[in-house]
Chains A and B, each alone.
Chain A
Amino acid sequence: MSRRSIPLLRQLWTLPSFNLTPTRSVTYMPRPGDGAPRAVTLIPGDGIGPLVAGAVEQVMEAMHAPLYFERYEVHGDMERVPEKVIQSIKKNKVCLKGGLATPMGGGVSSLNVQLRRELDLYASLVNCFNLPGLPTRHQDVDIVVIRENTEGEYSGLEHEVVRGVVESLKLITKFCSERIAKYAFEYAYLNNRKKVTAVHKANIMKLADGLFLESCREVSTKYPGIKYNEIIVDNCCMQLVSKPEQFDVMVTPNLYGNLVANTAAGIAGGTGVMPGGNVGADHAVFEQGASAGNVGNENLVEQKKANPVALLLSSAMMLRHLQFPSFADRLELLWNGLYRMESTVRRTLEELVLLKKSLMQS
């Protein structure tokens, strides 16, 4: 028995990917001056936010990454995002944030939504994929959910018609639907994805979701190399949990995107590990991909057991966005390597220390 395992071991040890440190893979030719440090706005936020944002700061320090953070305290109970924070993001063009707690009811609008509207970050991207070494009930999951971020059910236009009767307006415009469809197909083209699926409920909301679908269909004709199909959101949720491997890129309006993204994140390993971001024409804000609408329960904050992986992978996305690809590669490869080696127990902050050590040595 043990004799048979020796050649298997030998085979594994010679594989370059078994080694924790990434081997040379690609050649980058930077422009002169590319190494100058970049400023990034950092908003720790509420709940587990400061904990995971602190984790990212530590890791960037360990890697000597060429960026520095401009920290701003923003909390969910503020009336609006402070003007100087918006100015800072407009200047730096890139922001990393933890979650901002949104109070339920009470007429106070979510600061997360306000930030996205103010900077016109119209596309939200969540990449849900199986992490090697992390056991889940679903295999072969690799879904990117692209969600329209500025209109739809989240327009915030509600009013009380008469006492006891409230109307909430869901707005769908051709302009926003077209640009999110364009972004989704462009994303699929640039990242060698084969299929884009539009998620809708146009059998019920015939005009609203019908307009969304029309825009998606128009854009899909300009990309003949990419398959396009449509799926009703209830069927989509059911398919996600039974056969997730059929989905590739999904483009959705605001509310369905929120639900689909959180479901996909859940089947692929949980909201603690999925990276994501919000992008507009001029700015990009990176945060945990799917946060299930909360900033962590009090227990997590007290025991300091929040999972920093999601924000670390998002910061790897941010490093790529800032054109520091080899730093991003080191971070991602090491993290994937760690998950493969460790056992099933998740000791989040200890993992962070391990990662830091291996980054400093690599």
Chain B
Amino acid sequence: MSASRTSLSLLRTLVPYKTQTRAVTYMPRPGDGSPRPVTLIPGDGIGPLVTNAVEQVMEAMHAPVYFEKYQVHGDMKQIPQEVIDSIRKNKVCLKGGLRTPKGGGVSSLNLHLRRELDLYASLVDCCNLPGLPTRHENVDIVVIRENTEGEYSGLEHEVVPGVVESLKVITKFCSERIAKYAFEYAYLNNRKKVTAVHKANIMKLADGLFLESCREVAARYPTIKYDEIIVDNCCMQLVSKPEQFDVMITPNLYGNLVANTAAGIAGGTGVMPGGNVGAEHAVFEQGASAGNVGKKKMVEQKSANPLALLLSSAMMLRHLQFPAFANRLEEAVKNVILEGKYRTKDLGGDSTTQQVVDAVIAKIE
């Protein structure tokens, strides 16, 4: 009797310490608070809607960023030089999606931007968000995808009428640097395992070269586990036992597919943050967009999900070294998801984009 009485009082003292209330201590350098310019490309489809959501939230938080807006559309021949110059100057860009026309020989502007700025790593963080029910639990996968070569080299030609060759280019240089980035990411973010995704049983030389580079880099990080998985098995494992994956490193095409699959099992492309990073620049956008910029209906009814781009802009705030603002934004977004009152159609609700944005702004402390 007395033992349980003392345990009850002990438990009562422990319950108030439910949440980590005190934030962490940052010691900024003098001048860290001066506003930073960020290039903003609203894009096509739902792009203007969700980038406008980010602008509203940044305004509400009085974040020390200001946007330099540029109109770029998927049907332009190439990205205007002034936009590239602006990103080169600001080093950071936030963009909505750019529509890529099917066929027709016009190359994707998304791809063009990544090549021009040499943003060789694409990062998508797929994890279960508390309050959002999904069929898979314990998903916490970061997909790091090589962004500049592989199947997306754009080198195609018609040998004879009716016969087309498409070249997949894999180089040691690019494979090595993406492997280095993936292991460095795992090391810096306390991740335990890196999995290389490949199809080297069929494409023995191309994916073989990719794997070789990954193995070489893995040898320099003895504390991080490394393994390899064939892409078809990977897709099957993703949908049956996703908790086995941690960081995944992939060439271009597999990365696209794996990232979208992982985003789908973790809650949908409407909520996963992501970005593209190179040695000098970083472009933040929705993590996985399933290759489209939203249906016409979504644009008309203004029911696009702004949460993915909001979480990406929180990553951007961290990148710009405004961690306290990033924390506030992430907390607000997570609370909105947890509460579940304002959800757009892709999450099972019927709110509009603006309603979700207002909810996020209301939750910012």
Residues of A within 8 A of B (CB): 1-2, 4-5, 8-9, 11-12, 15, 17-18, 24-35, 64, 66, 123, 125, 127, 129-130, 132-133, 142, 144, 179, 182-183, 186-187, 189-192, 225, 275, 277, 279-281, 284, 286, 313, 316-317, 320-321, 323-330, 332-333, 336, 340, 362
Of residues 275 through 325 on chain B, the ones whose CB sits less than 8 Å from some CB of chain A are 275, 277-279, 282, 284, 311, 314-315, 318-319, 321-325
Contact partner, A29, options B26, B123, B328, Cβ 8 Å: B123
Contact partner, A329, options B24, B125, B325, Cβ 8 Å: B24
Contact partner, B30, options A33, A179, A326, Cβ 8 Å: A179
- Closest Cβ of chain A to B140, distance in Å, is 6
With a CB–CB cut-off of 8 A, which chain A residues contact B327? 26
Question: CA A132 – CA B17 in complex, angstroms?
Answer: 7
A32 & B27 in contact (Cβ 8 Å cutoff): no
With a CB–CB cut-off of 8 A, which chain B residues contact A1? 1, 4-5, 8
Question: CA A362 – CA B125 in complex, angstroms?
Answer: 20
- Chain A residue with Cβ nearest B178: A32
- Chain A residue with Cβ nearest B186: A35
Can you list 11 A-B contacts with CB-CB less than 8 angstroms, sorted by A residue number? A2-B8, A5-B11, A27-B125, A29-B318, A32-B121, A142-B22, A190-B324, A191-B26, A317-B25, A321-B27, A329-B24
B223 & A332 in contact (Cβ 8 Å cutoff): no
With a CB–CB cut-off of 8 A, which chain A residues contact B24? 316, 320, 328-329, 332
Question: CA A24 – CA B282 in complex, angstroms?
Answer: 23
With a CB–CB cut-off of 8 A, which chain B residues contact A320? 24-27, 323
B330 within 8 A of A: yes
Question: CA A28 – CA B12 in complex, angstroms?
Answer: 36
Contact partner, A32, options B223, B277, B324, B325, Cβ 8 Å: B277
With a CB–CB cut-off of 8 A, which chain A residues contact B33? 186, 189-190
A17 & B17 in contact (Cβ 8 Å cutoff): yes
Question: CA A275 – CA B33 in complex, angstroms?
Answer: 22
Of residues 3 through 23 on chain B, the ones whose CB sits less than 8 Å from some CB of chain A are 3-5, 7-8, 11-12, 14-15, 17-20, 22-23
Interface-lining segment among B187-195, B204-212, B234-242, B344-352: B187-195
A317 & B279 in contact (Cβ 8 Å cutoff): no
- Closest Cβ of chain B to A169, distance in Å, is 26
A279 & B27 in contact (Cβ 8 Å cutoff): yes
- Closest Cβ of chain B to A290, distance in Å, is 14
A33 & B279 in contact (Cβ 8 Å cutoff): yes
A64 & B223 in contact (Cβ 8 Å cutoff): yes
- Closest Cβ of chain B to A305, distance in Å, is 25
- Closest Cβ of chain A to B212, distance in Å, is 20
B278 & A32 in contact (Cβ 8 Å cutoff): yes
A330 & B190 in contact (Cβ 8 Å cutoff): yes
B96 within 8 A of A: no
Question: CA A123 – CA B15 in complex, angstroms?
Answer: 38
Question: CA A11 – CA B11 in complex, angstroms?
Answer: 10
B326 within 8 A of A: yes
Contact partner, A17, options B18, B62, B64, Cβ 8 Å: B18
B318 & A28 in contact (Cβ 8 Å cutoff): yes
Question: CA A327 – CA B187 in complex, angstroms?
Answer: 10
Contact partner, B17, options A26, A31, A133, Cβ 8 Å: A133
A336 & B125 in contact (Cβ 8 Å cutoff): no
B199 within 8 A of A: no
- Closest Cβ of chain A to B135, distance in Å, is 20
With a CB–CB cut-off of 8 A, which chain A residues contact B185? 30
- Closest Cβ of chain A to B53, distance in Å, is 18
10 closest residue pairs by CB, A with B: A2-B4, A35-B184, A186-B33, A1-B4, A127-B25, A27-B125, A5-B8, A191-B324, A8-B11, A326-B189
B22 & A129 in contact (Cβ 8 Å cutoff): yes
With a CB–CB cut-off of 8 A, which chain A residues contact B284? 29
A8 & B15 in contact (Cβ 8 Å cutoff): yes
- Chain A residue with Cβ nearest B328: A192
Question: CA A30 – CA B121 in complex, angstroms?
Answer: 11
**Told that A32-B278, A32-B279 touch, could you supply 15 new A-B pairs with CB distance under 8 A?**
A2-B4, A8-B11, A17-B17, A28-B318, A30-B188, A31-B319, A34-B188, A144-B25, A190-B325, A192-B324, A277-B27, A280-B30, A317-B26, A327-B188, A333-B20
B273 within 8 A of A: yes
Question: CA A99 – CA B45 in complex, angstroms?
Answer: 60
Question: CA A225 – CA B61 in complex, angstroms?
Answer: 11
With a CB–CB cut-off of 8 A, which chain B residues contact A129? 22
- Chain B residue with Cβ nearest A127: B25
Question: CA A183 – CA B19 in complex, angstroms?
Answer: 30
B215 within 8 A of A: no
- Give the one of B30, B125, B177, B328 with max A CB within 10 A: B30
- Closest Cβ of chain A to B62, distance in Å, is 6
- Closest Cβ of chain A to B284, distance in Å, is 8
With a CB–CB cut-off of 8 A, which chain B residues contact A24? 127, 140
0/1 interface trace, chain B 264-280, chain A, CB 8 Å (1 if under): 00000000010101110
- Chain B residue with Cβ nearest A325: B323
With a CB–CB cut-off of 8 A, which chain A residues contact B1? 1
Contact partner, A281, options B27, B29, B324, Cβ 8 Å: B29
- Closest Cβ of chain A to B20, distance in Å, is 5
With a CB–CB cut-off of 8 A, which chain B residues contact A190? 26, 28, 32-33, 64, 322, 324-325
